[in-house]
Structures are given as structure tokens and as C-alpha cells.
Amino acid sequence: MSKFTIEQKHVSENNKKHRIVSCFGCFSQMEVKEGVIGYGGDFFHPQCWKDFEKSSTVTSDLKTGQKKILIIGLGEIGYTNAQYMSEIGLWVDGYDINPETMQRALDENVIKEKAESFSGYDYYLICISTHKPENMFVPYLDGVYETAYRLLKEAKNGALLGIDSTVPQNTTRKILEILNHKLHVVHVPHRYYKHEKDEHGVQQERVIGACEQCCLDAGRKFYGHVLRIPLHIANTPDVAELTKIVENSYRYVQIAFSEEMKILCDNIGVDFDELRNSVNTKWNIDMLQAIDGIGGHCLPKDSQMVLDLSKQYVPNSIIESSKKVDSRYRMHIKNKTLLPTNSA
């Protein structure tokens, strides 16, 4: 009897309370009723429970090194993925083209070893940057495709490839084609906020999409069952790819609106922070801060991916206008800084 079946409890009819929950096995909606299995706060269809039990063997193999994970790219996303997996006892190796980044991961024990080859692994996660090295505002996928061609030559047949990097539409399909389905391929765009790692770290709900059902099944078992990451299953990889870049584009537009209002307030003599606090008293408004321009690795690049995709369909884009507003705002705060201050 496995450690799971020792603790499992069938949910009785008296306790169901007509609750609708997500099955932790297949992530579909279900009613808590007789026959449903509850374990550790999660619920399972009976068949999904059997599949989940089998994942305990995979987890054990990943802890002893009989099965291994390779994180490709050890920047913030790859590093935090490796750190989380190492903390839960899994065997994780890493690879990065930057020697300093590689050494940091080794010195801080977030990976076991540096991968000299891509052969011999059971799970591969692509976490490399998808912006140009010299300009993080510009999307750049050469590294992703170069990795795919190397995996075609070196990776183990039947292994899982998870694309955690942010990619535009059709990238997942192209990678599956490059690999000739030698590996199962899923796209699970990362969500991570370093300032609130407990609530918004690696182990938060994420979207998963795949071209084939076998790929989705393999990805669901690894990310969902082994890593215990709550998953929202997208019907196609296109939806998963768009999810990340659209949510960051939405954020970009929100910040740009606040920047526009800050420019307005500064020119008409109104305190922007007081205005923002007043506006946010309405229950369905959350006006964001306007600070020093829209930066970081994700928002400028991801919004550009959406803009590139939508140009032929939306001639007057709100995203393009937002980029112009952000540029104007940067000039605005720069000019304010250069203005002489009043002295007593």
C-alpha cells in the first residue's frame, strides 16, 4: 500500500455540501460526492486518484537521481524553478551559456551539476530569455530554437519538454515539429513575482497547453502531480502562448494609463497620488502607480509580441498608444528632475 492510500479518505455523502471543486488529477470541475477521494486538501476522481498514486514512483525516482530534470537557462525563472524543485528534494541539473550564472546556481546548491550534454534526462525545462541580449524590449527566439535542435540530437526519446519561457503564437507547434515528436512538448508559461514569492512564486496556478493529448498527459503529471502546481488546462497551445503575453500587455496598458494621468495631473496642478487614492475607493477600480516608466524583462517584450501579432488586424492599437505614452512619460519625469528646485 502506498503512502497515498494510507491517508486517503473517501468523501462521504454527508460531507459533500454540494461543493464544486477542481479534480487535482485531471483539473476538470466536479462535485464533491460519494466516491470522490480527498487527500491533503485536494480532491480526485477515482481513476485520477490511481494515476496520481503512480506519480509517487516518479517522485521517488526524481529524489534518488534515477530520473533527472534539466533546467535550460538559469536566469530568474530558471533559477527559481531549480530552487523550488531542489527544496522539495528532486534531482535537478542546470545549463546556462553564462559561466557566472552557471556558477551561482552551483555555489548556492539550487542544482546538482552542470549539464555537459543534454542526453540522459527525463524532464527538460526551457527557461531561457526570449528578448535580444542587447535590447530586452525586443522579442528574440533564436535561443529557443537552437535549444530545440540540440534536444533533437541529444535528448532521450519519450522525455518531457516543458517550455516555461514566454513565446509568441505557434512556437510550441514549431518546436514539436522540429523534434518530430521525439519528446512530449507542453507550454507552461511561468508566473512569478519575486516580491511576493509565498503567494506568487513557483507554486501558483499556471496555464498549460499542448498540441497532442499524450503531451498534455505527460505535462499534467509532471507539473501537476510531481511539482504540485495547480494547472488551468488550455484547449490549445495557442491559448497558453497568448495567455502570458496578453496578461502582461494588459498590465502594460494599465500602467500607461496611470502614467498619462500623472502627466495630466502634473500639468494642471492636481496631486496624482491623492487622485489615485480617491479613484481606488470604487469597488471595481484598481488604478496602478506611475513610477519611473515601464521596464523589466517581461512587460515591454511581451506587449511587443502581442503588438506584432495584432498589427495586421488592429490598425490603431491601444498597446502601441500605450508605448508612446510610456515614452512621453519618461521624458516628462526626466524633465521634472532637471527643473531647478525652489530654495528657501
Same domain, 83 and 203: yes
Same domain, 108 and 250: no
Same domain, 147 and 132: yes
Structural contact between residues 237 and 187, judged by C-beta atoms closer than 8 angstroms? yes
Same domain, 14 and 104: no
Rank 57-71, 121-135, 279-293 by mean pLDDT and report only the highest: 279-293
Over its C-alpha atoms, the chain yields an Rg (Å, rounded) of: 23
pLDDT of residue 144: 95
Percent of the chain past pLDDT 90, that is, above it, reads 63
Same domain, 214 and 269: no
Cα torsion 66, 197, 295, 255: sign? positive
CB atoms under 10 Å from CB of 302, counted, come to 26
Average pLDDT over residues 159-172: 94
- Whether 342 maps to a domain, the answer reads no
By three-state DSSP, how is residue 161 classified? Answer: strand
Q: With a cut of 70, say whether residue 338 has pLDDT above it.
A: no
Which segments of the chain does DSSP mark as H helices, in order?
3-7, 46-64, 76-87, 99-107, 142-154, 171-179, 197-200, 213-219, 237-268, 272-279, 299-310, 318-338
Q: What are 264-305's pLDDT values in tens digits?
A: 999 999 999 999 999 999 999 999 999 999 988 789 889 999
**Domain end (from 177, 200, 235):** 235
**Domain end (from 201, 235, 269):** 235
**Domain end (from 181, 200, 235):** 235
pLDDT of residue 9: 43
**CATH code: domain of residue 264:** 1.10.1040.10
With 0-12 CB in 10 A as exposed, 13-18 as middle and 19+ as buried, what is 101?
middle
pLDDT of residue 161: 98
The residue segments making up the domain with residue 329 are 242-336
Please state the separation of Cα 34 from the chain's center in Å.
35
Give backbone dihedrals phi and psi of 167, rounded to 5 degrees, phi first: -135, 155
Q: What are 70-97's pLDDT values in tens digits?
A: 999 999 899 999 999 999 999 999 999 9
Q: With a cut of 90, say whether residue 249 has pLDDT above it.
A: yes
Q: What is the domain count for the chain?
A: 3
Same domain, 98 and 131: yes
Same domain, 162 and 182: yes
Average pLDDT over residues 202-212: 93
Q: What is the pTM of this model?
A: 0.81
**CATH code: domain of residue 139:** 3.40.50.720
